[in-house]
Amino acid sequence: MMGSGKHHKFGVVLDAGSSGTRLYIYQWNDPVHARKKASTEKLRSIPKIKTKKQWTKKVKPGISTFHDKPGSVGHDHLAPLFEHALKSIPRAEVPNTPLFLLATAGMRLVPENERKRLLDEICTYARRNTEFLLPDCDLHIQVIPGETEGLYGWIAANYLLGGFDDPTVHDAHAHSKHGHHTYGFLDMGGASAQIAFAPNATESIKHADDLKLLRLRTLDGQDMEHRVFVTTWLGFGVNEARRRYVERIVEASGAPGVKELPDPCLPKGLLRTLDGKEIEDPAVAKKTVHLIGTGQFAECERQAYHLLDKDKHCVNAPCLLNGVHVPAIDFDVNHFVGVSEYWHTTHEIFEDKHSTKAYDFATYQKRVKEFCERDWHSIDEDVSKQKWGKKVDVDTAMQVCFKASWIINVLHDGIGVPRVGLESLGKSSHNGTKEVIEAVKEKGFMDSFQPVDKIEDVEVSWTLGRMILYASSQVPPAKVEGKEALPVGFGDNIFTANGVPEGFQYGGSGPQGKHGKPSFPSGNYTAPDSHWHDSLWQEGDTAPRRIPGLVLFLVIFGFAALLLIGRERRRRILHICASTVKSKKRKILGSTGIVTYERVLEDGYESPSTFELGSYDDEEGWGTPKLEAGRYDDPGLGPPRLGLHVAGSSSTVGLATRVESRERLATRSREVSPSRKGPRARSPLPPR
């Protein structure tokens, strides 16, 4: 279990991807406590986030596989993740720990109605089975667009590399010209690719409407704002690019009946089906259309280039790929780190013994060419001998040549990253990953592009970016006379009087409350150390909204007390209350000269709301008022129903009761039957 100090705060983010869901747990110090002893450097920094390898857990497959069976997602998928989290976080801190489940590519393909049902079930399961801080399902449990994923990644990368450090404190921080000290972020998965960066001053002004406003808060309560461009290219992930590539090969084959299609992106002699599976028996290959590797990497690069769609019409210039607008990138200012496939494809085979060396285009291209022009049989033998480690299997070796050609094309012909080793970069050359990270610590310079996986043993994951945003939102803002605190989060780069543009995504769990306190969309402020269930008892400006809840609680408490005091005492109390009400009623009406008569409608209808409970007991034939209460845990009864129910209070029974009362009053002067001791027996009420 993590440290359980009372000043530690925790957060949980579930990355619900297409292949599985990974749990991440993060920890930071309570900002109010942390800044009491913080140095000037730390006060001007974002709260320090911590995590460890054992604080993560992944389950397969992805939650999108539950789109047609949402009722199973809790027990079959979420349960082991929640169990791991609850074992890792101190029990007392669980109600104060926010839970986020953010889904990406896989869930974006699920039909909207099925997606909504599944997300609703996830939130319901989490609330029923945990006490995590989960005040707003729409904010905490959602499918995020690729742009948001890219922005979270940009936050994580800059946090780890020191891009958010105050340059006035770190004089040598600027790693580029003009004092620009943030890093660009590149991410590539199987289906899509993202880019996020802060353009130089000129481009920021020219393309201001295309940027996102990001607002963070440093430990001393000061706002930190950045204008970031972020976009996503759907279909430009490695798997989707490969699918489009194979389609082009099939279309280019032309002649019908052709079974064997040459593929320059596969090693020599490798037989592979169109959907990517190896064919070991040549006799089987002759029966179906298949690919055969020719091992011509230069040709592979040439064919992959056309997948960039550089010639597609650009509506809003400038554009990079597929006609998608991107502000011009100044590589003297913008230095990028690349994660996911940018790291795996450049390191799993080609940098295994050079993991500390920075990406060098000339060196990388040479190694890829040597590998991909080898005979497949020799590569297969090296894989079985684990020449490149346990992580490199046959599938990885088969796919890496196309992936490498795609990465090279996207980086250099698509995005325009200078080709280190071929193109002159002046003072822009630098050593490797280890040296780069050391240089970052010294606030030095960085290459135009650098693949990274971990920085100081912390994975560069967009989930970290989401938690940085949350932790920053929990810092109390600095008090400025006559100025309202602005919320932490991101939205369109549009000026508004209150600093909250339409569609603003809050860093905490909802809109900013007064005095900078984070509050929820319902308008109720929940302090960081309270639970969303407990909002009824919170103090502050929202007290009037809690009055109905307080009254309901008192009513429930009163009825419960009546049930517990016993039948005789309950009857006496009801009698006293009824007598008091009647006495006051007579005084009021008498003083005004108004005379009232009780009227019984002969048509058999009288509104039940006009019925008046007197001090009658069961012996006189009146039903005792009954307390009916629904329960939250009884799905058949729905929400709680608390109130008095009078036996036989339907319209027809009400009439029968009234008529019978008059008959009984008329017969009270009659003699009591000699055969009975006491009042004459009554007939039962007619059946309901």
Question: What mean pLDDT do residues 118-134 have?
Answer: 97
N-to-C CA span, the chain: 61
Do 531 and 555 lie in one domain? The reply is no
Q: What is the rounded CA–CA span in Å between residue 217 and residue 135?
A: 22
Residue 21 and residue 64 in one domain: yes
The arithmetic mean of pLDDT across residues 209-223, rounded, is 95
- Domain boundary among the residues 467, 502, 536 is at 536
Q: How many percent of the chain have pLDDT more than 70?
A: 70
> What integer pLDDT is reported at residue 476 of this predicted model?
93
In a domain, 163, yes or no: yes
- Give the separation between CA 448 and CA 468, rounded to whole angstroms: 25
pLDDT band at 583 (very low <50, low <70, confident <90, very high): low
Report CA 637 to chain centroid distance, whole Å. 32
CATH number at residue 36: 3.30.420.40
Judgement on whether residues 605 and 512 belong to the same structural domain of the protein:
no
Helix (H, G, I), strand (E, B) or coil at 177: helix
Whether residue 328 lies inside any domain: the answer is no
Are 161 and 16 part of one and the same domain? yes
How many CB atoms are located within 10 Å of the residue 146 CB? 21
Beta strand pairing status for 223-234 and 8-16?
unpaired
Could you tell me if residue 403 is inside a domain? no
Q: Which of 302-311, 501-510, 622-631 shows the lowest mean pLDDT across its residues?
A: 622-631
- Asked if 628 and 643 touch (Cβ cutoff 8 Å), the reply is yes
Is the pLDDT at 321 greater than 70, yes or no? yes
By DSSP bridging, strand 56-59 and strand 99-103 are unpaired
Pick from 539, 622, 526, 537: nearest CA to 575:
622
Residue with tokens 């307390």: 627
Average pLDDT over residues 424-448: 46
Average pLDDT over residues 418-444: 49
Residues 69 and 162 in one domain: yes
Residue type, 456: E
Its pTM surpasses 0.75 = no
Number of domains in the chain: 2
Is residue 615 domain-resident?
yes
Spatial separation of the C-alpha atoms in residues 686 and 306, rounded to whole Å: 86
| Residue 279: CB atoms within 10 Å | 17
In a domain, 91, yes or no: yes
Least confident of 181-190, 503-512, 678-687: 678-687
- Report d(CA 282, CA 65) in Å as an integer: 35
SS3 assignment, position 675: coil
507 and 557 in a common domain: no
For residue 573, name the pLDDT band (cuts at 50, 70, 90). Answer: confident
Q: Which two tokens stand for residue 679?
A: 């009042």
Tokens (6 digits) for 262:
């040459």
Do 124 and 19 lie in a common domain?
yes
- Domain housing 51: 8-145+157-171+459-536
Which comes out higher in pLDDT, residue 6 or 145?
A: 145
Per-residue 3-state assignment (H helix, E strand, C coil) for 80-141: HHHHHHHHHCCHHHHHHCEEEEEECHHHHCCCHHHHHHHHHHHHHHHHHHCCCECCCHHHHE
* Residue 507 is assigned to a structural domain of this protein: yes
- The pLDDT tens digits for 218-247 are 999 999 999 999 999 989 999 999 999 999
Asked whether the predicted pLDDT for residue 518 surpasses 60, the reply is no
Q: Please determine, for residue 166, whether its predicted confidence score (pLDDT) is greater than 70.
A: yes
Question: For residues 608 and 65, which has the higher predicted lDDT (pLDDT)?
Answer: 65
Residue at 474 is within a domain: yes
Q: Report helix, strand or coil for 441.
A: helix
pLDDT digits (tens, 9 = 90+) for 641-662: 334 343 444 444 443 444 444 4
Residue that the structure tokens 């590797």 belong to: 293
pLDDT one-digit tens code per residue, 129-146:
999 999 999 999 999 999
Residue 115 sits in the same domain as residue 41 = yes
Q: Are 586 and 502 in a shared domain? A: no
Residues 524 and 574 in one domain: no
Q: Nearest-CA neighbor of 342 among 489, 452, 227? A: 452
Question: Phi first, then psi: what are they for 229, rounded to 5°?
Answer: -95, 135
Q: Is the pLDDT of residue 154 over 60?
A: yes
Whether residues 45 and 134 share a domain: the answer is yes
Phi-psi region of 165 (alpha: psi -120 to 50; beta: other; left: phi over 0): beta
Using alpha carbons, select from 414, 270, 424, 454 the residue that is nearest to residue 362.
424
Identify the CA nearest to 227 among candidates 201, 260, 265. 201
Are both 489 and 579 inside the same structural domain?
Answer: no
Residue 269 lies in a domain: no
Residue where one domain finishes, among candidates 536, 563, 596: 536
Whether residue 43 has pLDDT greater than 60: yes
Residue 181 structure tokens: 């000290």
Average pLDDT over residues 352-357: 53
Q: Considering only CA atoms, which of 146, 72, 59 is closest in space to residue 106?
A: 146
Q: Which amino acid is at 287?
A: K
- Is 341 among the catalytic positions? no
Q: How far apart are CA 6 and CA 1, in angstroms?
A: 14
Name the residue among 227, 223, 230 with its Cα closest to residue 488: 223
Mean pLDDT of the residues in the chain: 78
- What is the model's pLDDT at position 582? 59
| Residue after which a domain boundary falls, among 484, 502, 536 | 536
688 pLDDT above the threshold of 50: no
Q: Check if the beta carbon of residue 324 is closer than 8 Å to that of residue 402.
A: no
Nearest to 28 by CA among 454, 472, 531: 472
Of residues 258 and 523, the one with the higher pLDDT is 258
The neighbour count for residue 353, using CB atoms within 10 Å, is 8
Annotated catalytic residue within 149, 203, 341, 351 = 149
pLDDT per position as a tens digit, 442-462: 433 367 899 999 888 889 999
Lowest mean pLDDT of 51-55, 283-287, 407-411, 642-646, name the range. Answer: 642-646
Residue 419 confidence (pLDDT) above 60: yes
Q: Which two tokens stand for residue 551?
A: 């009254």
